Structure 1
Amino acid sequence: MFIMSHIKNVGCLALLSTGLFFSVQASAADTCDKAYTQTDINKCIAAELAVEDKKLNQSYRDFQRLLNSSEKKQLKTVQLAWIDFRDKACQFSAQSVRGGSAYPMVLNGCLTTYTQQRRVQLDADIKNIRNK
């Protein structure tokens, strides 16, 4: 039990050391409380990323519905650039644990944080357009 707790703490420290926000670790801790092996923790964090990605995709579709053809093309260009940035930023942030068993946890934790932030940003943009 102590070893798994230590692994979770090391993972959280690794995420903190990459400059990510504490909310991801808290969120992961809330939903991954019963994950005791690194493999289980990695799977749990990957599942959280899938949930956030699904939410982001819905926000993106909702945003597209509010835009004209030209704006839709612009949003797509921005979104593709953002995805490229997110992926590269997280690969860089996780490089210190590359090759280790915690790499998927750190990488997916980072991806989850950025994905959640982007969704919140898109939702705020949607709200601003609807309030005009």
Structure 2
Amino acid sequence: MIIMSHVKKVGCLALLSTGLFVSAQASAANTCDNAYTQTDMNKCAAAKLAVEDQKLNQSYRDFQRLLNSSEKKQLKTVQLAWIDFRDKACQFSASSVRGGSVYPMVLNGCLTAYTQQRRVQLDADIKNIKNK
């Protein structure tokens, strides 16, 4: 089965160039190591999601290059279903804290975990295609 992931863009990070993005990642990592306020922790969770999103999008582009047009259509259908599942699963997972200040951190943490898993799956599919 062809698997892929494309995660929602988080804030302005999606618009940064690669060089600026890398600098922002390094800066965020340092800031996140010392995050004590909920606002800072929420921002760090969003930044981690943005990093995983970027990695996943690169894997998706790499995977698409290996597919014919029919497979690309199939991949898109699978991906849209996966995004719907991921979003609903994470909304449910974070529902006990909905409305609280920790909600963005919990939700983005869940989205990040699913995104990482999806990227690993996608990378494994790429490897399998290349080894055929």
- Matched AA of 2:66: L
TM-score scaled to structure 1, two decimals?
0.76
TM-align CA RMSD: 1.5
* Displacement of 1:30: 8.9
* Displacement of 1:129: 0.3
In percent, how many aligned pairs have the same letter?
90
Which structure has more relative contact order (CA 8 Å, sep 6+)? It is 2
* Corresponding position of 1:95: 95
Superposition pairs of residues 24-39 of structure 1, within 5 angstroms: 32-39=32-39
* Corresponding position of 1:127: 127
Question: Any gaps of 5 or more consecutive residues in structure 2?
Answer: 1-28
* Corresponding position of 2:11: none
Moved >6 Å (runs of 4+): none
Q: Provide the C-alpha distance between the structure 1 equivalents of 2:75 and 2:33, rounded to a whole number of angstroms.
A: 37
* Displacement of 1:32: 2.4
* Corresponding position of 1:5: none
Total equivalences in the alignment:
104
* Corresponding position of 2:23: none
Q: Provide the C-alpha distance between the structure 1 equivalents of 2:131 and 2:30, rounded to a whole number of angstroms.
A: 34
